[in-house]
Amino acid sequence: MEREASELFEEFKELTASEFFRRNKQMLGFSGKIRSLTMVFHELITNSLDAAEEAGIQPEISIDLKRVDKDHYILYHMDNGPGIPEDFITKVYCTMFAGSKFRNIQSRGQQGLGCSGCVLLSQMTTGKPARVISGYKKGEKLQGVEMTFKMDVKTNKGLILDRKPAEVTSTGVAIELQFKDVSYSLSEQGAFEYIRRSMIANPHAKITFRDPTGHKYIFERATDVIPPLPKEVLPHPRGVTADDLIFMAKHTDKRRFRSLLTSSLSRMSTKRVNEIQEITKIDLNKRPKDMKWDEAERIVELFAQMDFMAPPTSGLIPIGKVQIEKGIREILEPEFVATTTRKPKTYRGGVSFVIEAGISYGGNSGRVVGEQKRAEIMRFANRVPLSFDQGSCAITEALKSIDWKRYGIRDLENAPITVFVNIVSTNVPYLSTGKQSVAPEEEILHEVRQATMKIARSLQKYINAKRAAKDEEMRSKIFETYVPVIMREAALLAGKDVPEYEHILAKVTRRPKILDEMDIDLGELADDDIVGEKDDE
């Protein structure tokens, strides 16, 4: 029996963002018990770091995770940031796609989904409300509020259940959430490892964590230097589409399209605009709202043919090689570290990015699998650890494409090293909304390879020097063993007393000079993992 169109559309519905993600929570990264809890830690920690840095405060975070029952936890997360004003609390935690990060600026999060996603997951798995205590300044006065609320998914807004004043001694936010169907793990993808890696990329922060067993971990800051705030940058002509131009035209207060181009795009001068008008024959003095789609397409096609200066890089704030080394030394306590920060490059013609890399050997470098130490790859984007989807990530692809034997590493998978890579950009090309893997852009792959090969050469020199020193010390021990025997036998043959030979041994068994020059402490080399091949580049 055929049904009329009007009958079919009786079931036509509109979903709010909250309703959509309630049905598709995996798109927020909440899939699997371990991953779901790690993503909660990720969202709350990055939000706290961003808030503190924007206020010029050294971040200090306290996390308490209590197990109520199997796969049922209570999470208490507190920071020392500027706090959230009372009127914005439910907007931050209950409204999807709301926030202050929708700009062309380097940021840990850019979707306005993080905190509200955590509240949604809590509500979906336990039915319990969220509780927040916020201390914030209003003028010179410190105010505090305690609020209990739920998310109304039908309206994408918060539903306040209780609100009362709170006594606070400083600014900051504390949130309490309950979760079921999640799991705490010490695995490479678990919540504890996420904190550990966050500390390497954010050595200016301090995190105190109490795990479900009651064990307290204190991750001290390795530096007092708060990173400077990144600046918002204008899009580069090579990085925009026709749709971008039409959108700008509809939402601008400029009276002429030429003014829109010079004010909304970087590297766009009046001379360039005149050149565009001359080539395209489009009247750029018209009102922006009168710009047609085919005209916008012609302008964008011309952008691709024109030579522009590279995009401005003042808005990119890398961690810096010195700070990366401090973070690695604080957490891994390695025997050797090498770091580098590359010069800014662009992908897709108009998006700037910077690649940073570090490599460590010895100490707590690598990861323990069974009784064997294996290589550990730490991937980051704008200081945020990428814990999942490693196999599909451009960083992993670039690292595995390197011929590690040329740098003294027989097998990357089984070498006792840690490799750190961070991509810095206003627009990191993630492969999915979960933001856990980077797209394999050709320029990004190239820069990751170049950065890693540079520090790998430093590691190779260190290992070769250590091996040479070890060989020299072994030769010295041979002298130490046989010189006394030779002198005794020679004295016996000559019929004389055995002379003092301690001063002779001191000369031939002294500590190899190379050890002092490189401050090397001889230890056991993993001969199965490290080979002594020379770099033939």
Q: What strands, in cross-sheet order, belong to the sheet with 216-219?
A: 157-165, 141-152, 130-138, 172-180, 72-79, 60-69, 206-210, 216-219
Q: Rounded to whole angstroms, how far apart are CA atoms 197 and 227? A: 17
Q: Rounded to whole angstroms, how far apart are CA atoms 195 and 207? A: 8
- pTM score, whole prediction: 0.79
Residue with tokens 């360039």: 272
- Of 163, 170, 166, give the one whose Cα is nearest residue 142: 170
Q: Rounded to whole angstroms, how far apart are CA atoms 423 and 350? A: 16
Residue 310's φ and ψ, nearest 5 degrees, are -60, 155
Q: Rounded to whole angstroms, how far apart are CA atoms 25 and 433? A: 11
The predicted structure's pLDDT at residue 116: 85
Token pair for residue 237? 């002509």
Angstrom CA distances, 295 to 92, 273, 288, 419, stand at 40, 14, 11, 48
Residue with tokens 């109520």: 68
Q: What are the DSSP calls for 167-196, one per residue?
A: --SSSEEEEEEEEES-----STTSHHHHHH
The predicted structure's pLDDT at residue 62: 97
The predicted structure's pLDDT at residue 511: 53
The predicted structure's pLDDT at residue 424: 93
Cβ(83)–Cβ(170) under 8 Å? Answer: no
Residue 346's φ and ψ, nearest 5 degrees, are -130, 150
Quote helix, strand, coil % in the chain, to nearest 5: 40, 20, 40
Neighbours of 468 (CB within 10 A): 14
SS3 of 246-272: HHHHHCCCCCCHHHHHHHHCCCCCHHH
Q: Which residues contact 136 (CB under 8 A, 6 or more apart)?
A: 82, 83, 84, 85, 86, 142, 143, 144, 171
Token pair for residue 475? 């030769």
Q: Rounded to whole angstroms, how far apart are CA atoms 84 and 75? A: 19
As a whole number of angstroms, the longest Cα–Cα distance in the chain is: 124
Q: Rounded to whole angstroms, how far apart are CA atoms 229 and 317? A: 8
The predicted structure's pLDDT at residue 112: 46
pLDDT tens digits, the chain, 537 residues: what are they?
555 656 655 555 555 655 555 555 665 667 789 999 998 999 999 999 999 999 999 999 999 999 999 899 999 999 999 999 999 999 989 886 555 544 566 677 544 457 888 898 899 899 999 999 999 998 889 999 999 999 888 888 889 999 999 999 999 999 999 999 999 998 888 999 999 999 999 999 999 999 999 999 999 999 998 888 887 778 888 888 899 899 989 888 899 999 999 988 888 889 999 999 999 999 999 999 998 999 999 999 999 888 888 777 777 889 999 999 999 999 999 999 999 999 999 888 778 899 999 999 989 999 887 777 888 999 999 999 998 888 889 999 999 999 998 888 888 888 889 999 999 998 888 887 778 899 999 999 999 999 999 999 999 988 888 777 666 666 666 666 766 777 777 777 877 777 776 666 666 555 555 555 555 454 444 444 444 444 333
